[in-house]
A = this chain, B = another copy of it.
Amino acid sequence: MADFVGRGGRPDGAPGLILNVAVLGEGMHVGAWRYRAGAASDFTDIGFYQEIGRQAERGRLHAVFLADTLACAEENFERPNLGAIDPTIALAGVAAVTSHVGLVATASTTYNEPFNLARRFSSLDHASGGRAGWNIVTTFVPDVAANFGGDRLPAPTDRYARAEEFVEVVIRLWESWEDGALVGDKIGGLFADKARVRAIDHQGAHFSVRGPLTLPRTPQGRPVLFQSGSSGPGRELAGRTADAVFTAQNVKANAQAFRADVRARAAAHGRDPDHVKITPGLLPILGGTEGQARARKDELDRLGGQAELQKLALRIGVKVDALELDAPLPLELIEANQDFRGSEGFRSAAIALAREGRLTVRDVLYQNGGGHQQVVGTPEQVADVIEEWYRDGAVDGFNVMIDVLPDGLMDFVDQVVPVLQRRGVFQRDYAGTTLRQNLGLPVTA
């Protein structure tokens, strides 16, 4: 156990492995909506998200993590998609029926204003007793730009320059009230100590924001910062300011290198590397036997039709008819595309996986469900991967992407979590009530 504690385990000696549940549509698999028991419209029903929150909390998972995108794309006509419902609204509904699980919402620095975003996440943090997190994305989707006046995407470097400044402004707003500035002395009539609340007077290249925020410090000091995006600027943003990183990693050695790189960047910024948690996506497809798991995967694939292949083509930046199922993934074609403006993280994760294992397109689809590592197998086999990657320093935990919601989450909680707990790898109870406490992060001053 000592190695876990030394790597950011809990102060009470419990293991430090982090497991969040990532919510996309009605399940990560493109066939989920047809496979599951509930109505296709459940993604619009707050009860759906509340049930996920309850199940996650039953399993002592650290957080419910909602992906997001600000457009109705072709995918939205084919299945429930990420970003349909505003994640902060969904998570405010989850907050009301849970008490410990963290609530992480994705929001874009390119298509929001820092004052609005700072207030919204501070509000969610207050409303949940200190369980909110913001997953920072810079957005690389042309469909989104078209909803915000733009006819083209900003270049990646511009997006990240704005993001760096955006995050700085948000943090300063969150910290504009000193702890204790809200005095609340009803007898003496002193509501707030104005000397302990400061305008931020930010004047930068992208934003001019006076502040202060309308809200005092939150129960955990400020919301937890997740960063998504694995490019150079993304890693730098993570090293400088993020508490946790969501990334796509399919090869353990690459994940080790990624984690080491982000930790080194954090140290270079004078931070404790243990205060940056690396949590790649992991999609388990479970069965009582390996054969049952494969049957579940095959049935989901059948229901999903061509959508998995289309998703892969989009993610790696080639046309769908350039992909033949039993041919090798066309690495040269992919790398020749200089105009690619999508996620570097997803593309490089797929390339790395295919190169490492000399995989066919069919193999990639099997091991890389939509960009993240996919494990089709028994609860023990899934627990093996989680434990091995954690022990070997490739991750601090995983954002577990559930194939079919909420049933697949119930299976994960009932079947995988107990194995990890028996092995001493995963917590049997929460360390505290705030997300910072539960992730082993310092409460900011």
Interface residues of A (CB under 8 A from B): 33-34, 39-41, 44-46, 50, 70-72, 76-81, 83-86, 88-90, 92-93, 95-97, 111-113, 115-116, 119-120, 123-124, 126-128, 143, 146-151, 176, 182-187, 189, 191-192, 194, 197, 207-216, 303, 305
| Contact assessment for B214 and A89 in the assembled complex, using a CB-CB cutoff below 8 Å | no
| Chain B residues in 8 Å Cβ range of A182 | 40-41
User: Which of B41, B44, B126, B191 touches A40 (beta carbons < 8 Å)?
Assistant: B191
Interchain residue pairs with CB less than 8 A apart (25) = A34-B186, A34-B187, A46-B95, A46-B127, A46-B128, A70-B116, A70-B214, A71-B214, A72-B197, A72-B211, A72-B213, A72-B214, A77-B192, A80-B191, A85-B119, A89-B92, A89-B120, A89-B124, A90-B127, A93-B93, A93-B127, A111-B113, A111-B115, A146-B208, A151-B208
5 closest A-B pairs by beta carbon, nearest first, are: A40-B184, A96-B96, A92-B92, A146-B210, A86-B123
Complex partner residue of A46 from B71, B126, B186, CB under 8 angstroms: B126
Tell me if A303 and B189 are in contact (CB < 8 A): yes
Q: What copy number does this chain have within its complex?
A: 2
- Smallest CB-CB separation from A185: which chain B residue? B40
Which residue of B is nearest A71, CB measured? B214
Shortest distance in angstroms between A130's beta carbon and chain B's nearest beta carbon?
Answer: 11
Which residue in B40, B95, B146 is a CB contact (below 8 Å) of A186? B40
Which residues on the B side are within 8 Å of A187 (C-beta)? 34
Q: Is the CB–CB distance between B215 and A77 below 8 Å?
A: no
A116-B112 contact in complex given A89-B92, A127-B46, A210-B146, C-beta closer than 8 Å: yes
Query: A70-B116, A80-B191 are known contacts; what are 7 more A-B pairs with Cβ within 8 Å?
Result: A44-B215, A44-B216, A72-B212, A89-B123, A89-B127, A90-B123, A112-B116
Q: Which of B71, B189, B214, B216 contacts A81 (CB 8 A)?
A: B214
Q: Cβ of A183: which chain B residues have Cβ within 8 Å of it? A: 40
A21–B131 alpha-carbon span in the complex (Å): 29
> Which residue of the partner chain B has the closest CB to A45?
B126
Cross-chain contact B214 with A184 (CB below 8 angstroms): no
Assembled-state Cα–Cα distance A126/B207 (Å): 33
Contact B85 A208 (CB under 8 A): no
Most chain B CB within a 10 A radius of its CB, from A71, A89, A112, A191: A89
Q: A188 to nearest B CB, angstroms?
A: 9
Chain B nearest CB: distance from A67 CB in Å?
A: 12
Q: How far is the CA of A45 from the CA of B216 in the complex (A)?
A: 12
B33–A147 contact, CB under 8 A? no
The residue on B at minimum CB distance from A127 is B46
A368 to chain B, nearest CB (A): 24
A113 to chain B: closest residue by CB:
B148
From the candidates B76, B120, B303, name the one contacting A192 in the complex (CB within 8 A): B76
CA distance A223 to B85 in the complex (A): 15
Bound Cα distance from A159 to B292, whole angstroms = 61
Residues of B within 8 A of A89 (CB): 88-89, 92, 120, 123-124, 127
Residues of B within 8 A of A192 (CB): 76-78
Query: Closest residue to A197 on the B side, CB-wise?
Result: B77
Q: What's the nearest-Cβ distance from chain B to residue A396, in Å?
A: 29
Give A111 to B116 CA distance when docked, in angstroms: 9
CB neighbours of A83 from chain B (8 A)? 214
Q: Which residues of B contact A210 (CB under 8 A)?
A: 143, 146-147
Tell me whether A33 and B191 are in contact in the complex, defined as CB-CB below 8 angstroms, given that A40-B186, A126-B45, A182-B40 are known contacts: yes
The CA-CA distance from A50 to B197 in the complex, in Å, is 28
Q: A191 touches which one: B79, B86, B211 (CB < 8 A)? A: B79
B85 touches A127 (CB 8 A): yes
Minimum C-beta distance from A273 to chain B (A): 33
> In this complex, what residue of B is CB-closest to A182?
B41
Inter-subunit contact B211/A147 (CB<8 Å): yes
Kindly state the separation between the CA atoms of A146 and B208 in the bound complex, as whole angstroms.
Answer: 7
